[in-house]
């Protein structure tokens, strides 16, 4: 499975780090692209990204990367965390950076595009942009962690979201207990 992971300047760098760690563990083939603001926010959040040298890591400006063309074969793209700015640009087809162009390509090629926005509350423009990207075929997985599994650490809280992303990518994992999984069914 070949996946593009885009990291933007929304809060929640740990979501991206955990997802990448899990995908590496599952031996998925990944390529990573950072928006210009992503590393700034990660620094504020004291999240350090370290990737094996074999993983291609790109900036957002140049289009010199394979996934900005529909002719290159990829299975899915995840934008995590996804800023509302990036959602807006995707919703309106800006295609002005590697991330927004790649998202445009995934939508036109009908390939899975998962967006993990982190913002609260939303204004009406943001809400409408989310509807627009959904109508265009994207799957929106808001970074709204769940607590019914009694997460005990920040990483466990983060993993409640990462687990949903992995489910949508159809990548096996054991990050979280599934609801009623270990109890007899009525």
What residues line the site for ligand FMN (CB under 6 A)? 8-11, 35, 37-38, 40-41, 44, 83-86, 118-119
Nearer to ligand FMN, 61 or 177 (CB): 61
Q: How far is the CB of 11 from ligand FMN (least distance, A)?
A: 4
Token look-up 């982190």 returns 118
Q: How far is the CB of 37 from ligand FMN (least distance, A)?
A: 4
Rounded CA separation 185/156 (Å): 26
Nearer to ligand FMN, 28 or 79 (CB): 79
Nearer to ligand FMN, 28 or 165 (CB): 165
Q: How far is the CB of 121 from ligand FMN (least distance, A)?
A: 11
Q: How far is the CB of 84 from ligand FMN (least distance, A)?
A: 4
Strands of the 76-82 sheet, one edge to the other = 57-58, 29-34, 2-7, 76-82, 113-117, 139-140
Rounded CA separation 45/114 (Å): 23
Helix (H, G, I), strand (E, B) or coil at 130: helix
Rounded CA separation 130/21 (Å): 27
Nearer to ligand FMN, 84 or 163 (CB): 84
Q: How far is the CB of 44 from ligand FMN (least distance, A)?
A: 4
The backbone torsions φ and ψ at residue 7, rounded to the nearest 5 degrees and listed phi first, read -115, 125
Nearer to ligand FMN, 21 or 40 (CB): 40
Nearer to ligand FMN, 8 or 160 (CB): 8
Q: How far is the CB of 1 from ligand FMN (least distance, A)?
A: 25
Half-sphere exposure of 33 (CA within 13 A, CB side): 25
DSSP-assigned letters across all residues of 54-87 = TS-EE-SS---SGGGSTTS--SEEEEEEE-HHHH
């Amino acid at each position: 499975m070949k996946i593009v992971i885009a990291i933007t300047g929304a809060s929640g760098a740990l979501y991206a780090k955990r997802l990448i760690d899990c995908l590496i563990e599952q031996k998925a083939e990944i390529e990573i692209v950072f928006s210009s603001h992503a590393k700034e926010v990660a620094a504020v959040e004291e999240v350090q990204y370290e990737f094996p040298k074999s993983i291609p890591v790109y900036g957002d400006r140049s289009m010199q990367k394979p996934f900005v063309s529909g002719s290159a074969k990829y299975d899915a793209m995840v934008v995590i965390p996804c800023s509302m700015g990036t959602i807006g640009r995707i919703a309106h087809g800006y295609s002005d950076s590697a991330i927004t162009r790649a998202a445009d390509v995934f939508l036109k090629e009908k390939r899975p595009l998962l967006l993990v926005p982190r913002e609260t509350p939303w204004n009406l423009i943001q809400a409408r942009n989310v509807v627009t990207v959904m109508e265009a075929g994207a799957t929106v997985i808001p970074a709204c962690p769940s607590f019914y599994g009694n997460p005990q650490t920040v990483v466990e809280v983060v993993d409640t979201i990462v687990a949903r992303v992995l489910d949508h990518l159809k990548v096996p994992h054991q990050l979280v207990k599934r609801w009623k999984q270990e109890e007899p069914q009525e």
